[in-house]
Chains A and B, each alone.
Chain A
Amino acid sequence: MEEIYRELVKIVGERFVSNQPEERFLYSRDPGTMEPHAPDWVVMPNTTEEVQKIVRLANRQKIPLVPMGGGLVLSGLSRPLQGGMVLDMKRMNRILEVNEASSYVVVEAGASQGMLQAYLKKHHPRLKHSIPDAPPIATIGGNVLIHGSGHLSAAGGFHSEMLNGLEVVLPTGEVARIGSCSASPYWFSRSPLPDLAGLFLGWHGTTGVVTKLAIKLFPARPWNDVGIFVIEDPELAPDIIRRLARVQVAEDILAWMSPKPDWAKGFQMINIAYGAETKAELTLKRDLIRESVRPYLERKVGGFMPLPPDMKVRFLEAPQSTLAVFADVNKGGGFEYVGAIMPVELFAPAFRKGLEIAESRKVPYSLGARIVGLAHCMMFFYAYAFNRADQADVRRAQTALEDTNAMVLEMGGIPWKAETPAQKQIIKKMDPNTFALMNRLRAVLDPQGIMNPGNWEA
């Protein structure tokens, strides 16, 4: 063990490796409900070359290696289930290139959402990236690799769909570039080459260590507004969402349902955020959105909340700060959710069943759905808050999450960034040939089986 420590010190320097109990404790858990698993070492590389050396060392010694971004996934994916090393990527946080003409940015995998947001605001104020509703320290890389979604997902789909290319250290130590950057100095697209990015998206760090990536940027408009459409019948939601999305004006469509504040209980609120270059364009877009749901307005079964501009400000925040308030509703700062990727037509049963689970398990809840693309699908989330210092409370939330994962799969949805027990549930439902293919690919890429073992295993 000591020898490995010394090897790691040689690679990254003493300040950036630890085998001390404090670090091992901190890196054994995330803010969710999953049991802690302590690493033997925590190491923070600064360059792709250092990552290569660490991967080669892990290979030689057959040591498990778990790449980690912000450590905020909540479902425990960066806990080292079999010990070994946690590879904390936060030092590799450089913003390497912004290409204004082709609207993309190249970042190192540890660059955070907040850093990029601030950087673009300062240096490229007419461009922005799609921000998830996560703390600003969440990394761009981590979120893309788990198929995240965010404030531009109605316009651009999942964050993994906004990926132009990446650099990855394979489990055997070679560096590979994926996308246009493999054959061009530009990181403009994954097309037209064979798309190998899928080997690293949604695999939870079991196929390699991504060190750089390029993502698409979008116009940051000077005029912005949000409409909040309110209904009280979830059966209406799919058609309304489809109509709102198909106008192709919204940057983000987010439904939310919560028992708090009191005035929100029993209603489904659908936020539609959009931007424009001029006030006239903004008004036109507002009118297009309104027109799309005209039949519901005429029947008086839904309508846009009348909000003065001041009251809209918090709904235009990216990321939304209200989630942080909810996360601590029970105090003790515990918060986890099942994000279920599912078709929009499942909105009503997803809502009703989620409500049943939350109420029967007596956990504080917040339900919602981020619409992806033109209502091509949604990330329906079931968020449960709990007090981390209260084991009974943690257990209640854990049970609610387990029930929710099972319910989602039964309905035809798929839990997103699933915890290891939920991964096993997914595998049970998965076409056996698909799972066999996953295992064959993994065996080829990672012959020693060192990459985040315990994930995507039956």
Chain B
Amino acid sequence: MSELKYDQKICTKCEKIDCLTRCQHIALDLEEARQEWMKILAGRDSRVLHECLTCYACEEYCPYHNHPFYLIVDRQEELSAWPVPVPLTKQQIAMMAPKGQIVAQKVSAPVINLCSFPMLAGSIQGKLFAGASIIGGNDLFCNIMWLHFAKNSVIRERLPKVINNLMDYYLKVSGVDELICFHDECFGTYTQLAPAFGIEVPFKPIHLFEYLTKKLTELKKEIRPINAKVAYQRPCSNRLVPETQHWVDEIFKLIGAIRPAREYEGENALCCGMVVQAAQRDDRADAIQKRNLDDMAAVGARYCVFNCPMCFMTLKGMVAERGMTPILISDLCRIALGEGFWG
């Protein structure tokens, strides 16, 4: 079992405890935060382990990249401080288990990995994805979602096998070394989580945003500017890779979308609410969703653009009720290219 790469000394010396004092969901002053964090470091129970909504934000807030969120999740699992009722967790683990149905397949770059959302294959079409190979399914599921379920053990068990599947069934046999991650979660998994867990990644993950930026640049002459305000729903996993955020701005610039300044974006972004519902805190989820949607509406957004399919599925109805169009970012780009979009 791989050990989490974090340095206890860094936390012990930390003066600001940003991971907890900046938490959007648990109110702690500096002294309380220090006390609770010391408990967590010592492997003792803490209210944080029970109140955490698993939004990933503390992973971004830590100025030392010392993986506070992963440590919280490890401790939740060690102390059985389950964020989600046990039967639901077990059921999800069974639901997302590898199916063993994978068949070796020759692919050619660009290889788009849809992870556990192969049903979105209809989105991979048009000029942006011409010639792309599409892969996906439970056998390629990145497994990062177990961070929401206090089940790092499942990540440690399944992720290396997924990486092997990607290599053995697709990339190695095809001589391809780059993998386009359609979903931000996969990019976060392969570039940030896997190293933190001591798991080797033998291919080069490329974020969908980077891929889109490159393709849109190539197709620049064909772009018809969107000329509309677009709100961006930042996925929780993007907290692991905040350095990718600039691609959103690049894409918006290329397609002529206006990104209005919002209260809840960047480090202050709000969760879509799905994991909060899984934690059986619907009242909190309602409040978070309302703040988020009010904020989108207040800036006059015409579209709400998503990367995460789960955020999309969770919020799209509510977004539409507010008169905005919910849309995946790849589909918004396709509109700018004069193509219809799927879904």
Residues of A within 8 A of B (CB): 230-232, 261-267, 283, 286-287, 290, 296-297, 300-306, 308-311
What is the CA–CA distance of A303 and B283 in the complex, to the nearest angstrom?
15
A300 touches B82 (CB 8 A): yes
- Does B101 count as interface, using CB distance less than 8 angstroms? no
B87 touches A306 (CB 8 A): no
Residues of B within 8 A of A (CB): 82, 84-88, 90-92, 94-95, 97, 274-275, 277-278, 280, 282-283, 286, 310, 313-314, 317
A231 touches B87 (CB 8 A): yes
B158 CB → nearest A CB, Å: 15
A308 touches B86 (CB 8 A): no
A230 touches B87 (CB 8 A): yes
Q: Quick one: which of A261, A283, A297, A310 contacts B280, CB cutoff 8 A?
A: A297
Who on chain A is nearest to B97 by CB?
Answer: A262
Decide: A286 near B282, CB < 8 A? Known: A306-B274, A308-B274.
yes
A302 touches B87 (CB 8 A): yes
Residues of A contacting B282 in the complex (Cβ-Cβ under 8 angstroms)? 286-287, 290
Residues of B contacting A266 in the complex (Cβ-Cβ under 8 angstroms)? 90
Q: Secondary structure at chain B's binding surface: helix, strand, loop or mixed? A: helix
Residues of B contacting A231 in the complex (Cβ-Cβ under 8 angstroms)? 87
B313 touches A301 (CB 8 A): no
Who on chain A is nearest to B81 by CB?
Answer: A300
B200 CB → nearest A CB, Å: 30
Who on chain B is nearest to A231 by CB?
Answer: B87
What is the CA–CA distance of A311 and B316 in the complex, to the nearest angstrom?
13
Q: Which 9 A-B pairs have the closest CB atoms?
A: A303-B85, A263-B95, A308-B313, A306-B278, A263-B94, A232-B87, A306-B277, A300-B85, A303-B88
B55 CB → nearest A CB, Å: 15
What is the CA–CA distance of A290 and B85 in the complex, to the nearest angstrom?
13
B95 CB → nearest A CB, Å: 4
What is the CA–CA distance of A128 and B87 in the complex, to the nearest angstrom?
35
Who on chain B is nearest to A236 by CB?
Answer: B87
Residues of B contacting A296 in the complex (Cβ-Cβ under 8 angstroms)? 85
Residues of B contacting A261 in the complex (Cβ-Cβ under 8 angstroms)? 95
What is the CA–CA distance of A263 and B116 in the complex, to the nearest angstrom?
15
B198 CB → nearest A CB, Å: 29
Question: Given contacts A263-B92, A287-B282, A302-B85, could you give 14 more A-B pairs where the C-beta distance is less than 8 Å?
Answer: A230-B85, A230-B87, A232-B90, A262-B94, A266-B90, A283-B286, A286-B282, A301-B85, A303-B87, A303-B278, A305-B88, A306-B88, A306-B274, A306-B278
Residues of B contacting A290 in the complex (Cβ-Cβ under 8 angstroms)? 280, 282
Residues of B contacting A302 in the complex (Cβ-Cβ under 8 angstroms)? 85, 87
Decide: A301 near B86, CB < 8 A? Known: A262-B94, A311-B313.
yes
A230 touches B91 (CB 8 A): yes
A151 CB → nearest B CB, Å: 23
Residues of A contacting B92 in the complex (Cβ-Cβ under 8 angstroms)? 263
Residues of A contacting B280 in the complex (Cβ-Cβ under 8 angstroms)? 290, 297, 303-304
Q: List 22 A-B contacts (CB under 8 A).
A: A230-B85, A230-B88, A231-B87, A232-B86, A262-B94, A262-B95, A262-B97, A263-B92, A283-B286, A287-B282, A290-B280, A296-B85, A297-B280, A300-B84, A300-B85, A303-B87, A304-B277, A304-B280, A305-B91, A306-B278, A308-B313, A309-B317
